[in-house]
Chains A and B, each alone.
Chain A
Amino acid sequence: MNVAVVKPTPERALGELFATARDRLPGSGIVSEVREAAFAEFAKRGLPNRRVEEWKYTDLRALLREVAPLAAAPDQAALAKAATAVAALDVIDAYKLVLVDGVFAPKLSDVSALEAGVRLNTLSEVLEDRDNKVRGDLLLTNATSDVMVSLNAAMATDGFVLNVDDNVALKKPIHIVHVATQTGTAAFTRSLLRVGKGAQATLVESFAAAAGAQTYQVHDAVVVWVGDDAQVQHVRLVEDSHDASNVSTAIVTLGAKTQFNSFNLTSGSVLSRYQGFLRFGGEHANATINGVNLLKDRQHGDTTLVLDHAVPHCDSREVFRAVVDDRAHSVFQGRINVHPDAQKTDARMMTRALLLSDEAEADNKPELEIFADDVQCGHGATTGALDESLLFYLRARGLSEKEAQALLIQAFVGEAMESIADEQLRELAIATAERWLAARG
């Protein structure tokens, strides 16, 4: 047993992180090579700090300090705790796929119930499949060189590889549930969803903690390809424990005439970063990417979206709302790249922050880079407090201060939730926001 009292330097901790995890990471051969290269990239650059422009408001070196050691595979006790946490989630009619501490938990999942037209594999089984010559590609992306995505590729233990066949319309959402049961460890997960041409699918992702799980880290990535004429809804709910960290990435590629509708709600985690990279790869596609941050105490929540309008005739809409209380800090960065050929792009981004205390902070960074000349791009950002005249009107009608605030906050975030087409998922988002408001007292 090592009894050294010297705190390891971040660099040393980094090396140990991969060395000790290596034996547990699924995949050999090409997969190992991809992991080695990805980790080398991470080791070279380290956790992003404020001098990295994309991370300037979320300095992981200061806020996360170091990447926690890989979580152990869940034992029976952990699975039992996770089952309780899953049962406590809001009930939605969906195919539930549960990852406990980064490992697929079949007994907590609805695998057998999956509809015809959906193929499901776990990430670990595909990575272990030596006959699959392209299995290493599951850990690669050319959408971003973000270092946290490299770390995820190096360390991913499990996740799902889902294929929805062409022209299949799934009746129920696929619901990936991430449950943490441990304290002080990190789970690394990666899932891939390929939606065939003309198909329709809904992906829900929930992040939750089992009782007693504290200061854990979630490192997740989701890669989605939407085939031509397909329709995809994507809803994320981050309700991790109040001292956990969650660094997640979504990489989305849209085919022609697709409709992609995405909504993220972050109310948990002391530190969270959700970064979305969305690329329009076919004409006449339409994307709505909305989000809400509900932050209090000393929470830091960062939503960073990068949209690439690479082809003409695509529309994008982004509506983001932040409600920031106490000493919390919300970040929204929205980048829209309109490539030279992407004429007739129509891109709009609106972000609003509501500050509920004098010490709350919100940063909005819109960035538009436009290389085509016949486009419509617009963005707006506001930051302010609740309107006193509205509060007084409600209080004069009998609502307490907290009730009046809650009603106005619901209305404020409701604007970003209107776009959730599926009613049960919209209700789920509203219920999650209500829970946050109720916890304010």
Chain B
Amino acid sequence: MADGTTGADAVLSVRGVSKSFGPVEVLHDVSLDLRAGEVHALVGENGAGKSTLTKIMSGYHPPSAGQVLLDGQPVALASGVDGERHGIVLLHQEFNLAEDLTIEESIFLGREWRRGPFLDKRRMRAHAAKLLADLHCRIPPTARIRSLSVSQKQMVEIAKATDHRARVLMMDEPTSVLTQDETDILFGLVAQLKRNGVALVFISHKLDEVKRIADRITVLRDGHLVATRPAAELGQDEIAQLMVGRPLHDLYPPKQPPAADAELLLTVHALGVPGRVFDAGFALRRGEILGFAGLIGAGRTELMEAIAGLRRREGGSVAAGAHRLAYLTEDRKAKGLLLQFPSRPNLTLSTLASFTRGPFISVPAEDAALDKAIKAFDLRIGSRDMQVGALSGGNQQKLLFAKVMETQPDIVIVDEPTRGVDIGTKQQIYHFIARLAAAGKGVIVVSSEMPELIGLCHRVLVMREGRIAGELAGESLNEEEIVRYATGLKGAA
């Protein structure tokens, strides 16, 4: 059995840790050491046990078996708060921010500074401003969480976590919603913390990032620790193979661009969304996979939502003829799926009219559709009664795909289709998108992951500050060009 122990100078260790939820064992006999001044990356597919392991190490879950050691001594952490008291801080995957509080209030929630019986707002505000400045985050500490973008919320979470005098800081997918620039800032901060002797844990699905900042890498698969190695010894392909447990060929399917005279499915002309999108125009052909690149906040989602009729638009036109259009939201938890409901009602929610007999819903028809979706999308939903919220991110995303495809669209817009999804599922989603295009549909892919756009799309439009700044295809479709347009080095802004 591989393990991640080193013997000496570990700040925090686990020895033989297992964890079961009911009858399901999600973590099996894992041993690992975290050292001061080292970045330890945890990688693995969704459901491999990464989040559970960090929750055990930080006190949110007690282990079912095995020990947690702090400075070589066994500790029983009673809760996440108890863990923080010992200097072990976990930055959660999901946001834990109250939407109506300000940034300052969020950062100090539960440990407010006071002067006598009164809140010392001035000092807290100044401190919050300093934390944000360290992250090059130009938002006032008095802004409400509700008004922030997803990446800004993440920055607030990071500011909050780093403010604890952490000896161990664990970050569960901190970069999944960050732009390249923000990621660079975060990594600068990580380097700083490393120099200060903090032990860091970094979870990410982005293997290039893992390679970039990790000193050691631990791979988990199905709750087992597969390997712990120095980062220098592992290539990205090797990591992916260890994660999946098999060699991973063909992450991206071969490209089959449409004929130049293929039918136009969608023509957008001079479309605007108040304050967000200006004068956007493009066309989509049958069989084409069209990418949309850009920094977060460039207006890509707003443009797509306006095209799908989910957002008010200002001027311009959208011509789709008789073609049906479907939009797959980037925010599957808040806008895509009913998390407290099982899979069946989620699958049919958009198309319930085709599952009725007379005025009544036909449950057998819905069940049949779910059977088909399970096969077509390789859905692993456990029990049929299981709430969708309890599924892994990859399975949620596949269910959302299945739901959208129930509408039998001719034009499919997918927004961040692989966010928070493991590499095995990513591959499935890419191949699925390619099959859609091969079947004569038009697909628009909005993504912040450039390799994905380059590997998958026939043509990529880059947006910047609400405008389409450039179009890339063929040889010129590469990361450097995308960045030039996205940041305004090239193209009219």
Task: Tell me whether A and B are bound partners.
Answer: no
Residues of chain B whose beta carbon lies under 8 Å from any beta carbon of chain A: none
A residues with CB within 8 A of B: none
